[in-house]
Amino acid sequence: MQVSRIVPSLLAVVSLATPRGGGAAAQSGGRYRVTADNAWFYQDVAGRRIARLARGATLSGGATRNDWIQVTLEGWIFSTSVGKSDKPEFDLLVTRAPNENLRAAPAGPLVAELAEGFGLKRATPDSSGRWRHVTREGWVLRSTLAPLADVVATRTAVAPDSDSVQGGLPPPPRGADTARVDSSRAQPMRMTTLYRAPDGPEAGTIATETPLRVLSRNGEWTRVQFEGWVKGGDLQAAPAGVLVGVTAAELRTEPQRYVGQVLRWNLEFIAIQKADDLRPDIPSGSSYVLARGPLPERGFVYIVVPENRLPAFRALTPLVTMQVTARVRNGRSRYLGNPVVDLISLEGGGGTP
C-alpha cells in the first residue's frame, strides 16, 4: 500500500464525489474546488470583482468563455446580516458592514466573504430560522479552480438514499441511526486525495484499491478508516490520558463522543473575548480565548480560561502558534458550531500558566 504522510488507523475524510454530468472541466454542469488563496468572484467576464472566495470552497460550474467559468455561489448566511433587496434581480442584500461570511452549511466551512450590498437570491423558501439559504451567479477565472473527480467507485451494494452514487452502501437496519453507516468495505479505483476534514487541508493520497472501512457520510464526503504500517522511530507517543490527532471536524460530527475527553492541539491565538448571547455554552460575561485550528484546520475554537490564568494569554502576540491541552466542554457549540474546551495547560506560545 502506497500511502503518503499517513499514520496507522488514521481517521480521515476522503471525497467520494457524487457523479455529475460534464466530465471535462470545460463542460457545463461540473463541480469545482477553489485552489487559489486570492480567488475572486466576478460580476461578469473580466468585469468587477465582487466577492473573495475561500480556498477549498466548492462551486457549481456552468458555461465557459475563454479563461472564464460561470459558477453558482450557494451557501448559508446569518438571517440578521441580510435584508430585502430594492433591486429586482435579487431577493436579498447583505446589510452587515463591511462584509459577512457565506458558509457551505449553517456554521459550516467558509465559501466566500460578501461585502455590504452584495445581492443574493433565496435558494429555499424564507423561514424564521437563524440562517438563510442563498445563491448568486457570476464568473471565476479558470486558473483558480480545479474540477472535482466524477466519482471514486466502491465495491459495495447500492445505498438506498442515493441513486446517484455508484456502488454505494447497504441499507442500514430498520431503526438504525442513518447518520452513521455500517462497517462496509470499500476501495478507491484511482489515486485519491485524503483530507483532514471536509473542504479542509490535504493529508496525503491513497493508492488504488487500498482497503478502506466506511464509518459515516456527510453529503458528498465519506469518512473512512484504514490500517497501515510506519517505522516506529517516526512516531511520537501521546501523553497518558491525552488524545492527539483529533480534528475539530471529528468533534463537530460526534460532539457527545468527545465531551470530557482531554485533547492536545496546536492552535493560532486570535484574541481574548467575553462570552455573549451567541455563545451560550460559555457562562455569560466569562472570558474565553478565540483561537484558530487545530492547525492546519481553519475553523475556530473557544477556550474557556480562568481569570487568574489569562495573563499568559495576554502576553501572546495575535496569530502566534500555541500548544494547548484542554478538556472538551462541547464538541459543537449551539449556534456557531465551534468546539468549546476548558483550559488545562498552555505548553507553547507563551509559557506555562
165 & 206 share domain: yes
| 3-state SS assignment for residue 79 | helix
Q: Of 147, 169, 195, which residue constitutes the final position of a domain?
A: 147
26 inside domain: no
**How many Cα atoms within 13 Å fall on the side-chain side of residue 197?**
22
Q: What is the average pLDDT across 8-25?
A: 39
Is residue 25 domain-resident?
A: no
Please check whether residues 141 and 155 belong to one and the same domain: no
Of 214, 219, 218, nearest to 157 by C-alpha is 214
8 and 52, same structural domain? Answer: no
Q: Which pLDDT score, from 0 to 100, does residue 94 have?
A: 94
Residue where a domain terminates, one of 174, 204, 235: 235
At 284-326, the pLDDT tens digits run 888 999 999 998 888 899 999 999 999 999 999 999 999 999 9
Residue 328's domain is classified under what CATH number? 2.40.50.140
Question: How many domains is the chain built from?
Answer: 3
User: How confident is the model at residue 328, as a pLDDT?
Assistant: 95
- Helix/strand/coil (H, E, C) string of 212-267? EEEEEEECCEEEEECCCCCCHHHCCCCCCCCECCCCHHHHHHCHHHHCCCEEEEEE
DSSP class of residue 13 equals E
Q: Of 334, 331, 287, 285, nearest to 312 (Cα)?
A: 287
> Any residues with CB less than 8 A from the CB of 81 and at least 6 apart, and which?
94, 95, 96, 100
Is 86 in the same domain as 158? no
- 156: containing domain: 1-19+151-235
Q: What share of the chain is helix, strand, coil (3-state, %, to 5)?
A: 10, 40, 55
pTM: 0.43
Residues 189-214: tens digit of each pLDDT = 777 888 766 666 677 788 766 888 77
Q: Which of 330, 192, 352 is nearest to 257 (CA)?
A: 330
Beta bridge partners of 70: 139
pLDDT of residue 116: 92
The residue out of 147, 171, 186 marking a domain boundary is: 147
In this predicted model, what pLDDT tens digit does every residue of 226-269 receive, in sequence order?
777 777 777 766 677 888 888 888 888 888 889 999 999 999 99
Q: Give the mean model confidence (pLDDT) for residues 110-135.
A: 86
Residue carrying C-alpha cell 484504514: 226
